[in-house]
Amino acid sequence: MRTLFVFVLIFSINFLSGQKMITYKKIDKTDLKMMIFKPPGFDTHKKYKAIVFFFGGGWTKGNAAQFRSQAVYFASKGLVCFLPDYRVASRNQTTPFEALKDAKSAIRFIKQNAAQLHIDSARIVAAGGSAGGQLAAATALIADYNEKTDNLKISSVPNALILFNPVIDNGPGGYGFERIGEAYLHFSPLHNIRKGAPPTLIMLGRKDHLIPVATAEYYKTVMEKVGSRCDLALYDNAGHGFFNQNKNNDNPFYQETLNEAERFLNALGYLTANSKTGSAN
């Protein structure tokens, strides 16, 4: 108990003093960290709604900075935003299954430390792009692939999902099947949609070479059959990764997807009328 108290105390001091990165998991001699973006005028006496962004990269590469611009934007709207790292093949010689374990651990960490983070643990959104979108959806839908060191009494299920061209079908003919194999039945979001699935927004380019529009449409159909909300926004002349901010800051799809995500979050009651710019803290 004393060790836990010391950890919590140090964690709280570091967080409140503006620590930019915190460690949410230690595994295989690897420290997995997440960056936190807080709203301007952050008030430690309040509980904030949160959004967790999982980067893409085919569970092979990528880094948490992919969604930095989106995190800054939504912090300005009153959300606390988290950008967690997770294990990928190029850096950690791991499989997609370890990536999912880490994504679940990240959600559980935020919930377990909700008081220190000043988060409403019942108002957490999971978001992600491509393979990160698969991870976000899988935290909500997949029962398997939990880290044995996690407190499994804490649910990894978020309260809403925002998915940017997610690889939601990992079955035969879908993305990643050559690595997932027959485990897709317990890994692929499309094959595990169930009653009670969180409200979901999917954004997809009509020219995406990895995810057919028909797959997203079918996902929406199945979600609605089980009684869950699923908004689908399709973008003409947009390919895979169309939502990313570019170096010239002139990608129109970046702002369009921000607007669509903001509309969705407003409909769920997640946003405030704060229009200032957020910052990393």
**Average confidence score pLDDT of the chain:** 91
Give the start-to-end residue ranges of the domains of the chain.
21-280
pLDDT band at 248 (very low <50, low <70, confident <90, very high): confident
Residue bearing tokens 């959004």 = 51
For 179-201, how does the pLDDT look when each residue is reduced to its tens digit (9 = 90+)?
Answer: 999 999 999 999 999 999 999 99
For 132-152, how does the pLDDT look when each residue is reduced to its tens digit (9 = 90+)?
Answer: 999 999 999 999 999 999 999
* pLDDT value at residue 279: 43
Q: Tell me whether strands 160-164 and 21-27 are parallel, antiparallel or unpaired.
A: unpaired
How far, CA to CA in Å, does 4 sit from each of 1, 11, 119, 149, 182?
5, 10, 20, 15, 40
pLDDT band at 247 (very low <50, low <70, confident <90, very high): confident
For 70-111, how does the pLDDT look when each residue is reduced to its tens digit (9 = 90+)?
Answer: 999 999 999 999 999 999 999 999 999 999 999 999 999 999
Distance CA 143, CA 272 (A): 33
Distance CA 77, CA 156 (A): 24
Distance CA 68, CA 277 (A): 13
Contacts of 27 (CB under 8 A, 6+ apart): 87, 102, 147, 149
pTM to 2 decimal places: 0.91
Round to the nearest angstrom and report the end-to-end CA distance of the chain: 28
Distance CA 192, CA 189 (A): 5
Backbone conformation region of residue 173, classed left if phi is above 0, alpha if psi is from -120 to 50, else beta: left
Average pLDDT (262-280) is 73
Nearest-5° Cα angle at 69, 66 to 75: 120
Determine what percent of the chain is predicted with pLDDT higher than 70. Answer: 90
Structure tokens, 150: 């996690």
Write down the architecture of domain 21-280 according to CATH: 3-Layer(aba) Sandwich (3.40)
